[in-house]
């Protein structure tokens, strides 16, 4: 029996690979210098969806909410085998906290129609909140299962093994359901060469407009050449749709900054500061004097 999966993914700055190049002189991170990547645990979620399709059949649809460059993660999903993708994008969606993000994603999911399982990574490496998954499930009023490591399916239920504190548990839940996937769940498959060659040409309407030298929708929406290019891309299965607020029937006051109950007041960069710092010789003499000093301070007996 086939299962239709929707996978929610995010393009994030690569916060785990802060090298000297991304560090500014004052010891803070230059965020714009970080490369943008597919959120690691979302790759695990995509892998799980593709494995479900391998075993049972069905469709894998991948959605991402983000600014125009986020189309790149959708191409990467296509390279790995996604059937359909869509970029949920609109200025109105910007600067959203997890509550507003979950509203927008839930509306986009409504637009997709039927689904059996929604999958997302446990958390994104920039926000680190792990909240969007459960909040989307809450909006859709479907059960959620977090920290999923593995799963089995029957026609109407999902049985998963999930992490709990100090161990794991096996739970069974009816479908439809939303699951969040942890990085220990699987090893995501790499892009397939044939699909990469095919889908690297896939573009959003915005990317088509920009590739023609135009800057904004005002410039291209009435442009006949652009309209033809979009039609042609669509006919060849190479159009990545962009869904704005009106396409997903979203109330803009519940999206983005306006729809966010939380406000960021202040952001301080964490600096690697020099504390009172002593260098100790790696010799026996050096280490003896270290131990003596620690003993004097009663740090060591």
Partner 1 sequence: MADASEVWVYAEQHNGKLHDVSLELVSRGRGLADDLGTQLSAVLLGSDVTPLAQRLIAQGCQKVYVANDSALQTYTTLPYTRTIVSLAEKHKPQIILFGASHLGRDLAPRVASQLKTGLTADCTDLRIGSYVDPKTKEEKHNLLQQIRPAFGGNIIATIVSPNHRPQMATVREGVMKLSEPDSTRKGEIISVPVDLDGTDMILEIIEQHTTPKTVDLKGARIIVAGGFGVGSKDTFELVRQLAGTLGGEVGASRAAVDAGFISRDHQVGQTGTTVRPKLYIACGISGAIQHQAGMAESGTIVAINSDPQAPIFSVAHYGIVGDLNEVIPTLIKAYKSK
d(CA 233, CA 235): 5
Work out how close the CB of 74 gets to partner 1 at its nearest, in angstroms, rounded to a whole number.
23
User: Residues 282-301 vs partner 1: string with x where CB under 8 A?
Assistant: xxx-xxx-xxx-x--x-xxx
- Judged by CB under 8 A, which of 16, 24, 91, 201 binds partner 1? 16
Binding flag, residue 33, partner 1 (CB under 8 A): no
Structure tokens at 242: 């962009």
d(CA 272, CA 25): 11
Give how many residues touch partner 1 by CB under 8 A. Answer: 78
Work out how close the CB of 6 gets to partner 1 at its nearest, in angstroms, rounded to a whole number.
18
Cα–Cα distances in angstroms (integers) from residue 241 to residues 4, 12, 112, 234, in the given order: 19, 20, 12, 9
Q: Which of residues 86-105 bind partner 1 (CB under 8 A)?
A: 97-99, 102
Would residue 126 be called left, alpha or beta, if left means φ above 0 and alpha means ψ between -120 and 50 degrees? alpha
d(CA 145, CA 11): 23
Q: Burial of 24 by CB count in 10 Å (0-12 exposed, 13-18 middle, 19+ buried)? A: exposed
Q: Which of residues 146-165 bind partner 1 (CB under 8 A)?
A: 146-147, 159, 163-165
**Which is closer to partner 1, CB of 28 or CB of 223?**
28
> What's 203's DSSP letter?
B
**Which is closer to partner 1, CB of 209 or CB of 259?**
259
**Which is closer to partner 1, CB of 57 or CB of 286?**
286
**Which is closer to partner 1, CB of 235 or CB of 270?**
270
Q: Which of residues 42-81 bind partner 1 (CB under 8 A)?
A: none
Work out how close the CB of 215 gets to partner 1 at its nearest, in angstroms, rounded to a whole number.
28
**Which is closer to partner 1, CB of 218 or CB of 262?**
262
Cα–Cα distances in angstroms (integers) from residue 153 to residues 44, 109, 160, 288, in the given order: 18, 21, 9, 62
d(CA 130, CA 247): 27
d(CA 109, CA 247): 12
**Which is closer to partner 1, CB of 129 or CB of 227?**
129
**Which is closer to partner 1, CB of 172 or CB of 200?**
172
Q: Which of residues 160-219 bind partner 1 (CB under 8 A)?
A: 163-174
Binding flag, residue 31, partner 1 (CB under 8 A): yes
What do you get for the CA distance between the two ends of the chain, in Å? Answer: 67
Q: Which of residues 216-235 bind partner 1 (CB under 8 A)?
A: none
d(CA 174, CA 81): 26
Binding flag, residue 39, partner 1 (CB under 8 A): no
Q: Which of residues 102-131 bind partner 1 (CB under 8 A)?
A: 102, 125-131
Strands 177-181 and 144-153 turn out to be parallel
**Which is closer to partner 1, CB of 224 or CB of 272?**
272
User: Residues 247-286 vs partner 1: string with x where CB under 8 A?
Assistant: -------------xxxxxxxxxxx-xxxxxxxxxxxxx-x
């Amino acid at each position: 029996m086939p299962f239709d999966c929707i996978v929610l993914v995010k393009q994030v700055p690569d916060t785990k690979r802060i090298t000297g190049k991304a560090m500014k002189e004052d010891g803070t991170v230059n965020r714009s210098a970080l490369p943008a990547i597919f959120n690691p645990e979302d790759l695990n979620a995509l892998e799980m969806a593709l494995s479900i399709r391998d075993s049972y059949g069905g469709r894998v649809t991948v959605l991402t909410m983000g600014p125009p460059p986020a189309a790149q993660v959708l191409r990467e999903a296509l390279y790995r085998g996604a059937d359909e993708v869509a970029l949920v994008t609109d200025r109105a969606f910007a600067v959203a906290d997890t509550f507003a993000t979950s509203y927008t994603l839930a509306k986009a999911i409504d637009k997709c129609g039927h689904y059996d399982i929604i999958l997302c990574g446990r958390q994104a490496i920039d926000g680190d909140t792990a909240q969007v998954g459960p909040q989307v499930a809450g909006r859709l009023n479907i059960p959620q299962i977090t920290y999923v490591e593995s799963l089995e399916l029957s026609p109407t239920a999902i049985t998963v093994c999930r992490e709990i504190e100090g161990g794991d548990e096996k739970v069974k839940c009816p479908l439809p359901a939303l699951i969040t996937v942890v990085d220990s769940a699987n090893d995501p498959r790499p892009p397939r060469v044939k699909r990469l060659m095919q889908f690297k040409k896939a573009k959003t309407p915005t990317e088509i407009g920009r590739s023609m030298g135009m800057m904004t929708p005002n410039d291209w929406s009435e442009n006949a050449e652009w309209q033809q290019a979009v039609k042609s891309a669509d006919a060849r299965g190479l159009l990545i749709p962009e869904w704005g607020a009106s396409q997903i029937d979203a109330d803009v006051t519940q999206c983005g900054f306006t729809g966010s109950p939380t406000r960021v007041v202040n952001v301080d960069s964490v600096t690697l500061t020099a504390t009172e710092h002593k260098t100790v010789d790696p010799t026996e003499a050096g280490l003896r004097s270290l131990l003596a000093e620690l003993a004097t301070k009663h740090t060591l007996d």
